[in-house]
Structure 1
Amino acid sequence: MPPLVPLSDVALHLSERDEVAIALRPLVAGTIIDIGEGLLPVTLRADIPQSHKFALADIPEGAQVHKYGQSIGRATHTVLAGDHVHSQNLGMDLTEREHEFGTTHTELTAPAGETPTFLGYPRADGRVGTRNYIGILTSVNCSATAANLIADAFRGFALDEFENVDGVMALTHTSGCGLVPTSEGGQVLLRTLQGYARHPNFGGLLVVGLGCEMVPVESLVEGYGLPEDTIVSTMNIQGEGGVRATVKEGIARIRAMLPELNTRRRVPAPVSKLVLGLNCGGSDGFSGITANPALGVASDRLVSYGGTSVLAETPEVFGAEHLLTSRAVAPEVGQKLLDRIEWWKGYAEQGGGSLDNNPSPGNKAGGLTTILEKSLGAVAKGGQADLSAVYEYAEPVTEPGFVFMDTPGYDPVSVTGIIAGGATVVCFTTGRGSVFGAKPTPSIKIATNTAMYEKMADDMDLNAGRIVDGTATIAEVGEEIFDLIIRVASGEQTVSEELGVGQEEFVPWQFGTVT
């Protein structure tokens, strides 16, 4: 008979309520696990991949299955102790959750001593940028090619003499005409483009249109709170006489901006000026155990100093929203989150799906079975702080503290909305290995497991997998993330910036009628 293996050596049992444990490494069928004094050992009835679940006891058909002490679904047929618990025997739990408002309050106290600072670019409106970019904003898809050609002129060595300018980027999209600007979809696009136009990481802005579109260039920069020190220039292809003339003139206008923007310097600013975006992609069974809760520690630290932290991805808090509403500072804040989830239920049904169509195939390969399981891990990015506000997609984030923005779960679309709202640093956790960037805002990528980190080290900034390896605690990694946020905000490049990733990830959320 094989020797008994202590449960803590091979798996994580997160709560006394949980009927499942999570494998720390690949386990083979026949392994006998000692699950505690007075309890019968469990023999694995199947191979268990790393970060996947196995049953610690028999689970009757229809019974709830718990992880994190919360329901992650119901057994679709009888599960025996030692079984691999996944899509073949675990389905959605449609039980309505009770929602309380403001019943959970965590008093966050900043550590003693001076408030940390970062080196940023102060803007005329009081905000502080973490980068100094020139953006080429397009009002319509028809001007995308011209914008890209203008930006291409400033790649490589073109900016070497302007060391304080981080780059020139084209912000292109697939809309801007053929839609009703006053419709919900039209308003979302306008909010997104206007949010980027006034973003503190853009010191200069060239807005390029065609000339006959439904979203004119002036509507993106006039009357929407651009900092007075943003250098703005607008142009239309039809007015300039075609693409060639527009590209030539656009290059000249940006060259004229560069000397002024290069005079701007980083100065110390309190971390309360930072707006941190929280996002995850390519999640796995370790995401809610390592990187996400560690990021939650960093988020709470920032909030304790008066900063702002933005959680998003509404389809990926579905099933865990009760954990957020209980932290709402007022009933109307919690209710706004529930209203957005109800909107999403209808939106998913219109598309022939449901919110449980998520997780993705990659998530499931990493051990996540239902949206409930994924959401319970995802909300850990938000730490323990009170929920102070809920915003619609791309709305300006004005409330300090921990807030929520309604976005899709699709990473580029989600982060585009967060940045439009004003995020100046993004932390992005991943278990499968997402390659992601988000110009003009630096994106810090945090790996949830060591195996993926080592395989994709050139694409990751920090390894939170050490938490399950036993070489670091959640609190220790959380402090590392917070320190890295400050260094990146002060100018240290992330790996995605070094690779030049981030321009193509500008993807505004597009929905509604196109005529």
Structure 2
Amino acid sequence: MQTKLIKVHAEDNVAIALVDLVQGDRVQFEGQEIIVLSDTRAKHKIALVDLAPEDEIFMYGVLVGKAVAEIKRGDALTVENVRHQSSPVEKKTASVSWTPPDVSKWKDRTFMGYHRPDGQVGTANVWLFFPLVFCENRNIEILKDVFEKELSIGKVNKQRNLLRNLISGNPEDTAGEKEQESSQTFDNIEVKFITHQGGCGGIRQDSETLAKLLAGYVKNPNVAGATVLSLGCQNLQIEILKKALAAIDPDLKKPVLIYEQQQMGTVDNMLNTIIKESFEGIKEANKIQRMPAPISKLKMGLECGGSDGFSGISANPSLGYASDILAAVGGSPILSEFPELCGVEQELVNRCVNDEDGERFISLMKAYESAAEAAGSGFDMNPSPGNIKDGLITDAMKSAGAAKKGGTSPIEAILDYGEYVTKPGLNLVCTPGNDVESTTGMVGSGANIVVFTTGLGTPTGNPIAPVLKVSSNTVLAERMPDIIDIDTGAVIRGEKSISEMGEEILDYVIKVASGEITAKADALNQNDFIPWKRGVSL
């Protein structure tokens, strides 16, 4: 008999529909019959008990909302009868306790990575171009065009081929439908380019924060060297970047080439100099070869976006299990998206190894929410229309499932945005819930690979770190196979356990980290980079 409902935690008073339910359906659940009182789509929730207005609603064993209207047993939870509610947290209330998973088959696993002088190991080998200020974006784009065409980086764009065929009058030419591989001058280095809208205007703190982020990208083990463009008069001065680099690594041994346009005369003169000197750096970086490294050298960003009502019971807990394995062998999983930890703060505070970190987490959360409220918003406004449509109707409900990406391991460090991960074990980094801003921040904190769960689908990638997409359901994986790397739909169907799927995810991560498999986002040349302006985003 097909399972139609699932309750995540013994204390929950709602269940998740695994299939579409129709009013009048009689469902056997936990030895009792539930009569479905209203049409309920898969991924949405139904009440397991009668709820009066102001009654609390629990999922994952935590408070996720309150009833604002009468909800009968068997009725669907909606935005009309439920509102966001979460438990307050003031201090640590329990000591850290953790039973790690069996890692006997993982403790000696290795990946083929790029070893850096500071002991870090990259999953990619990138020469990175970026500006200190938006005024240099055009010059970055010129350099991007020159290097990509002349070094034949990436693939010939199939849409460009299609348009070329249409212009020539041969729209049926199948050459326009194929993405052709191009030959490359260098076989062991990628050249990537970042642009952004920051570096001047706004407040000075914005530029200082951006400098820390960019310094983190230079420090990231996936980067072999960098070319930096400055105009000269902007808020983010070259000295501010150098100070940020020195703070993150006083003994930085990577080549960082910095050019200031207002000191170099004509654009042609500047660009010619940049191209000549950067080319020499790229040639040297191409000599670096992959070598074996323990998987403890992986810093794995944990991200979710386009989440649905299945994310918290398939993709996220499976990734959480992979995170626990990595933490147990000395790797560094990284959990972020602070607005999507609302409602599970007490659990996370109690998991902090150091009391000071627990206090810092509470402080960062309160400051973030206060800034959002001052702007006329709040964490309760975090769920997107897509989240709500697919069953995540309160922020706490969304957060309780999103936090499952972090598994159950102790939290070794709480970091603010722009701070770099240095400790093995689970790290929490303060970022927005916005997919690209969060991923951008985690990579700036040192993530050399990112695993991104999704229930609705998103093509998000990153310029320097592979971003793997994990679908919560098979329907999505089959509908968008060009962006989904791993499908956890088998968990929903009861064909695989969370631990089995978690091990599959980690095994796939190791293959991508070794260069054996290309992440779908990289195949699509998806290079997203959006720095966070604090207080603006959820």
- How far off is 1:444 after superposition? 0.8
- Match of residue 433, structure 1, among 454, 457, 462: 457
The AA in structure 2 aligned to 1:495 is K
1:281 and 1:91 map into 2 onto residues whose CA distance is: 22
Report if the CA contact (8 A) 1:163-1:262 is conserved.
yes
Q: State the SS of the aligned residue for 2:333.
A: strand
1:226 shift after superposition: 7.2
Matched residue, 2:84 = 92
Q: Cα deviations across residues 443-490 of structure 1 (Å, max 9, x unaligned)?
A: 111001111111111110000121001221111110011101111111
- Which of 204, 207, 213 pairs up with 2:228? 207
Q: Is the 8 A contact 1:218 1:234 kept in 2?
A: no
1:397 to 400, 415, 421: 421
TM-score (normalizing by structure 2) = 0.89
Supply the distance in 2 between the matched residues of 1:362 and 1:69 (Cα, whole angstroms).
24
Q: How does 1:340-379 map to 2 (within 5 A)?
A: 340-379=364-403
Deviation at residue 229 of structure 1 after TM alignment: 4.4
1:193 to 2:214 alignment: yes
Amino acid at match of 2:225: G
Work out whether residues 72 and 92 of structure 1, in 8 Å CA contact, stay in contact via their aligned partners in 2. yes
Q: Deviations over 1:191-228 (max 9, x none)?
A: 11111122221112101011222222343246342775
Distance change (3 Å), C-alpha of 1:292 and 1:112:
same
Q: Which amino acid aligns with 1:498?
A: A
Is 1:495 the equivalent of 2:512? no
Please give the residue correspondences for 1:170-249 in structure 2 after superposition, counting only pairs within 5 Å. Answer: 170-181=193-204, 183=205, 185-221=206-242, 223-224=246-247, 225=249, 228-249=252-273
Q: CA deviation at 1:94?
A: 5.0
- Distance, in Å, in 1 between the alignment partners of 2:14 and 2:411 is 30
Q: Which of 383, 397, 410 is the aligned partner of 1:386?
A: 410
Answer yes or no: is the 8 Å Cα contact 2:87–2:343 preserved in 1: no
State the distance in 1 between where 2:30 and 2:341 align: 33
Match of 1:254 in 2: 278
Counterpart Cα distance in 2 of 1:77 and 1:304:
45
The percent identity for this pair of structures is 35
Question: Alpha-carbon deviation of 1:109?
Answer: 5.7
**Aligned equivalent of 2:166:** none
Residue of structure 1 equivalent to 2:47:
55
Normalising by structure 1, report the TM-score: 0.93
3-state DSSP of counterpart to 2:482: helix
Task: Give the deviation of 1:249 after TM superposition.
Answer: 3.0
1:493 and 1:278 map into 2 onto residues whose CA distance is 18
Q: Which moved more, 1:239-248 or 1:169-178?
A: 239-248
Residue identity in the other structure for 2:58: H
The residue identity in structure 2 corresponding to 1:149 is I
SS at match of 2:111: strand
Query: 2, 16, 40: which is aligned to 1:22?
Result: 16
* CA spacing shift, 1:179–1:396, aligned 2, 3 Å: same
2:356 to 308, 328, 332: 332
The correspondence for 2:488, drawn from 428, 449, 464, is: 464
Aligned equivalent of 1:10 = 4
Are 1:144 and 2:137 matched, yes or no? yes
Query: What displacement does 1:251 show?
Result: 2.5
Rounded Cα–Cα distance in structure 2 between residues aligned with 1:70 and 1:373: 9
Give the 3-state SS of the residue equivalent to 1:105 in structure 2.
coil
Name which of structure 1's ranges 135-144 and 54-63 shifts more when overlaid on structure 2: 54-63
> Counterpart of 1:435 in structure 2: which amino acid?
P
Aligned partners of 1:317 and 1:378 also within 8 Å = yes
Letter in 2 for 1:465: G
2-structure distance, mates of 1:264, 1:326: 43
- Separation in structure 2 between the aligned mates of residue 292 and residue 488 of structure 1, nearest angstrom: 19
For 2:108, the aligned partner's letter is: T
Which residue type is aligned with residue 501 of structure 1? Q
Q: Structure 1 residues 110, 35: closer, same or farther in 2, change over 3 A?
A: closer
Identify if the C-alpha distance between structure 1 residues 93 and 154 changes in structure 2 by more than 3 Å, giving closer, same or farther: same
SS in 1 for 2:129: strand
Runs of 4+ that moved beyond 6 A: none
What is the aligned partner in structure 2 of residue 482 from structure 1? 506
1:64-75 equivalences in 2 (<5 Å): 64-75=56-67
Change (3 A) 1:269 1:351: same
Corresponding position: 1:292 with 2:285: no
- On the 8 A contact 2:43/2:309 being kept in 1, the answer is yes
Q: Give the distance between the partners of 1:314 and 1:228, measured in 2 at CA.
A: 30
- Mapped contact 1:314–1:406 kept (Cα < 8 A): yes
Once residues 295 and 94 of structure 1 are traced to their aligned partners in structure 2, the CA distance between those partners, rounded to angstroms, is 24
2:74 alignment partner AA: G
Amino acid at match of 2:234: E
Cα distance, 1:258–1:93 mapped onto 2, change above 3 Å = closer
1:158 aligns to 2:145 (yes or no): no
SS in 1 for 2:95: coil
Report what 1:268 is aligned to. 292
Distance of 2:284 and 2:79 partners within structure 1: 58
Is 1:78 aligned with 2:83? no
1:123 matches 2:146 = no
Match of 2:181 in 1: none
Q: Could you tell me how far 1:189 is from its partner in structure 2?
A: 1.4
The aligned counterpart of 1:3 is: none
Q: Structure 1: give runs of 5+ residues left out of the alignment.
A: 1-5
What is the rounded CA distance, in whole Å, between the counterparts of 1:73 and 1:104 in structure 2?
Answer: 27
Count of matched residue pairs: 500
Compare 219-228 and 55-64 and name the one that shifted more: 219-228
1:310 is paired with a residue of what secondary structure?
Answer: strand
Which of these residues, 437, 444, 461, is aligned with residue 468 of structure 2? 444
Cα separation, 2, equivalents of 1:158 and 1:11: 52
In 2: Cα distance, 1:16 partner to 1:317 partner: 21
CA distance in 2, matches of 1:346, 1:228: 37
Equivalent residue of 2:278, what SS? helix
TM-fit CA distance, 1:231: 2.3
Q: Show the counterpart of 1:281.
A: 305
Q: Structure 2: which 5+ runs fail to align?
A: 154-183
User: Cα distance, 1:239 vs. partner?
Assistant: 2.5
CA offset digits 1:225-284 (Å, max 9, x no partner): 277542221112222324343333322232222221111100001111111111111111
Secondary structure of residue in 1 paired with 2:39: coil
Q: Does 1:45 align with 2:68?
A: no
Distance 1:396 1:460 in 2: 29
Q: Distance in 2 between matches of 1:227 and 1:98?
A: 40
Q: Give distance in 2, aligned partners of 1:36 and 1:328.
A: 35
User: C-alpha separation between the residues in 2 aligned to 1:338 and 1:228?
Assistant: 33
Matches of 2:222 and 2:373 in 1, distance apart? Answer: 38
Cα offset for 1:360? 1.0
Where 2:64 maps in the other structure, the secondary structure is strand
Secondary structure in 2 matching 1:47: coil
Call closer, same or farther: CA 1:235–1:299 in 2, change over 3 Å.
same
Looking at structure 1, the residues matched to 405 and 87 of structure 2 have their Cα atoms a distance apart, in angstroms, of: 25
